[in-house]
Structure 1
C-alpha cells in the first residue's frame, strides 16, 4: 500500500521540489516558471524557516510542496512578524487527490506549533477558504496585491501561550525575492 508522507523539506529535496514547481506552474511562454526561482532565492534569504518548507511524498516521490516564509507587518504598533504562504504546488499527475490540502494543512500546523500567529496568501479564495483564510483587508492588512481584492487573504492561527494578544495590522512587507514574481 502506498502511503502519503508529510515532512519538512530536507537538503536532498531541492531538485525534486524544483521539478514539482516547474511542472505545476508550467506555461508554454516561459522556460522556467518564476516560482522555481522564487523558492531558490527564498532558501538563501533570512525569510527562510526550514521547519515551514513542507513536502508531500507519495510512493517515495516528492509530489507536493507548501512554503511558509517570513514577512513583516508594519503598522502603528511597530513591526510584527507574520508568514506568507506560497508557492503551493502539486505534481500534475497527483493533483485533485488531496495532496495539496494535506501539505498546506501540515505547514499551517507546523507554524502554529512554532507560535506563529498570522499567515497571508495570494491565491484562489475558494481553495484557501477551506483552511480558514479570509480577505486580508478585513483584518486591516495591505500589500502590493491589495488591489486584487478577494485573492489577497489572511489567516489568524490559533494562539499559543506565547502568541496571545492582538494580531498585527498594517502593511505586509515581503522579502525582496517576492518582487520578481
Structure 2
C-alpha cells in the first residue's frame, strides 16, 4: 500500500487537520472537534513535535496522524510526568488497514526513545490492550472526569515506571478550552 510514517511538519498541518475532521465525521463517540484539539495542543507547552506523527501515502498524502502530548499525574504534592495518546486518526478510506496500529507502535517507540516512561489513553477497551495498555485503575491512576475504568488506560514504556505512581491525570489546558 506504500505507507510510511514520519514526524508531522508545519506544512502538513492543514492537510492533517482536514484528514482528522474526516476521520471522526461519523464516529458515534466524537464531539467532532478532534482537529481543533490537535491545533490547540500544537500551540501549547504540552506539544512535543517529535511525537506528532503522520502516515503518508505516496499518492494521497496524509492519511493518518497520532499525537502524544505532555500530561501529569498528580497526587497531592507529588507530580509525575506522563503522556496522553490523543487523538489517533486515519482517513476513512484507509481505516481497517493497520495504519492506526502502525502509528501507535511508532509513537510509543519514539516516546520511549525520547525518555518518556508512561502513556495514558482514553479509548476502546478492546483495541488498546493489544499495545500493552491496561486499566489505569490498576495503578490507582484516575481520570479528572467520570469514565468507565475499562476505557481509561495506562501503559508503562519503562518497566515498573508506574509502580509507585498514583493520582489524578491532569491534561493540558488545550483539552478543556
Is residue 139–residue 163 contact of structure 2 (8 Å, CA) maintained in 1? no
In structure 2, the gaps of 5 or more residues are none
For the residue of structure 1 that corresponds to 2:153, the secondary structure is strand
Cα distance in 1 for residues equivalent to 2:162 and 2:130: 25
Cα distance in 1 for residues equivalent to 2:175 and 2:79: 19
Residues 37/167 of structure 1: CA separation in 2 closer, same or farther (3 Å cut) = farther
**CA positional deviation for 1:164:** 6.3
Cα distance in 2 for residues equivalent to 1:178 and 1:167: 26
C-alpha RMSD over aligned residues: 2.2
Report the counterpart of residue 53 of structure 1 in structure 2: 52
TM-score relative to the length of structure 1: 0.88
Instruction: Output aligned runs, 1:1-181, within 5 Å.
Output: 2-27=1-26, 33-60=32-59, 61-75=61-75, 78-145=78-145, 147-159=147-159, 166=163, 168-180=165-177
Moved over 4 A (4+): 163-167
Residues 36/165 of structure 1: CA separation in 2 closer, same or farther (3 Å cut) = closer
**CA positional deviation for 1:33:** 2.0
Is residue 145–residue 152 contact of structure 1 (8 Å, CA) maintained in 2? no
For the residue of structure 2 that corresponds to 1:138, the secondary structure is helix
TM-score relative to the length of structure 2: 0.90
Cα distance in 2 for residues equivalent to 1:157 and 1:168: 14
Number of aligned residue pairs: give it.
Answer: 174
**CA positional deviation for 1:145:** 3.8
